[in-house]
């Protein structure tokens, strides 16, 4: 990259870092302050929030720093520093997207299976899901340290990350399918079905009841909810599809993409960590 582009990349990373850290801290404070927001599935929401906050405190500042002042420690691919930062990056990336996916499943269950929701999502089951998320994420990030895949310093991304070389294509493809593509498509599919339910409900309206009285819910309430879901799906696709495309292209062809393309796709996927707390807030009742 040219000096101007590296400076721009660093500036974008700094902006994303500030947005990510402030947004996730704000979400944590809101949850801690309002006890009525604490549900049986709160641990999964906190998992996503903590993962994104950790990304905002580790990988994002590191990418910004490396882009303007690269050091010898970060550029030694086989060094402990690079391997450790690559492990943390992949661990937090995986735990974030899978936690957000299960948060979407929780919202889908609450809307589409309202009468049985409390029996489906209990505290023990939420804890089991949380343990499975982190066990999967840790195992996923540990495979490259054991010889399945590899961590290397990427000069176009300014981060230690997975090596998208052809010799690791089996691991990269399995990782991409199971850890990234499947969760993203699952979230978009669930949001799409929720939108379908919301628009169907908007055509006929409904009555909501509490302890005192029943009231009619106007159609624009459902349509407003569906717009949020559509915007969320678009944001997820915009943030993740360029990264997925670049990684698959480099792995299957053995050719490096343009530094600008690789850097932009990495910035977008890290920026998703700054958008996740707002997605969580907007998709709640």
pLDDT tens per residue across all 285 residues of the chain: 677 788 888 899 999 999 999 988 988 888 788 776 677 778 888 898 999 999 999 989 888 888 887 554 556 667 788 889 999 999 999 999 999 899 888 888 877 777 788 888 888 889 999 999 999 999 999 999 888 888 988 888 888 888 888 888 888 888 888 888 899 899 888 888 877 776 666 666 555 555 565 555 554 555 555 666 677 778 888 889 999 999 889 888 888 888 888 889 999 999 988 888 877 666 555
Query: Which SS3 state, helix, strand or coil, does residue 214 take?
Result: strand
Q: State the sign of the Cα–Cα–Cα–Cα dihedral 63, 275, 231, 114.
A: positive
Tokens read off for 8: 């721009």
Q: Give buried/exposed letters for 169-184 (b at 16+ CB in 10 A, else e).
A: bebbeebbeebbbebb
CATH of the domain at 126: 1.20.1070.10
Do residues 51 and 92 lie in contact, with contact meaning Cβ atoms separated by under 8 Å? yes
Contact 67, 153 (CB under 8 A): no
State which residues form the domain around 246: 3-282
**Number of separate domains in the chain:** 1
Q: What is the pTM of this model?
A: 0.84
């Amino acid at each position: 990259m040219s000096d101007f582009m590296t400076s721009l990349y660093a500036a974008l990373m700094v902006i994303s870092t500030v947005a990510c850290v402030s947004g996730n801290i704000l979400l944590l404070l809101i949850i801690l302050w309002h006890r009525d927001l604490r549900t049986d599935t709160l641990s999964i929401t906190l998992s996503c929030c903590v993962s994104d906050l950790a990304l905002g405190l580790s990988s994002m500042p590191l990418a910004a720093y490396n882009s303007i002042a690269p050091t010898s420690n970060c550029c030694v691919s086989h060094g402990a520093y690079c391997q450790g930062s690559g492990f943390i990056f992949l661990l937090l990336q995986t735990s974030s997207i899978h936690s957000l996916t299960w948060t979407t499943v929780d919202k889908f269950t609450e809307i589409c299976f309202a009468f049985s929701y409390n029996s489906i999502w209990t505290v023990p089951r939420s804890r089991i899901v949380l343990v499975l998320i982190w066990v999967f994420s840790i195992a996923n990030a540990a495979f490259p340290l054991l010889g399945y895949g590899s961590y290397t310093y990427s000069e176009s991304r300014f981060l230690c990350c997975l090596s998208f070389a052809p010799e690791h294509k089996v691991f990269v493809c399995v990782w991409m399918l199971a850890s990234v593509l499947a969760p993203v498509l699952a979230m978009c599919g669930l949001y799409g079905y929720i939108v379908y339910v919301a628009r169907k409900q908007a055509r006929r309206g409904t009555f909501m009841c509490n302890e005192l009285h029943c009231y009619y819910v106007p159609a624009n309430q459902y349509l407003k909810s569906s717009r949020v879901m559509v915007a969320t799906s678009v944001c997820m696709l915009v943030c993740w599809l360029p990264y997925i495309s670049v990684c698959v292209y480099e792995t299957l062809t053995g050719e490096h993409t343009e530094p600008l393309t690789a850097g932009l796709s990495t910035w977008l996927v890290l920026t998703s960590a700054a958008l996740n707390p707002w997605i969580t807030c907007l998709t709640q009742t």
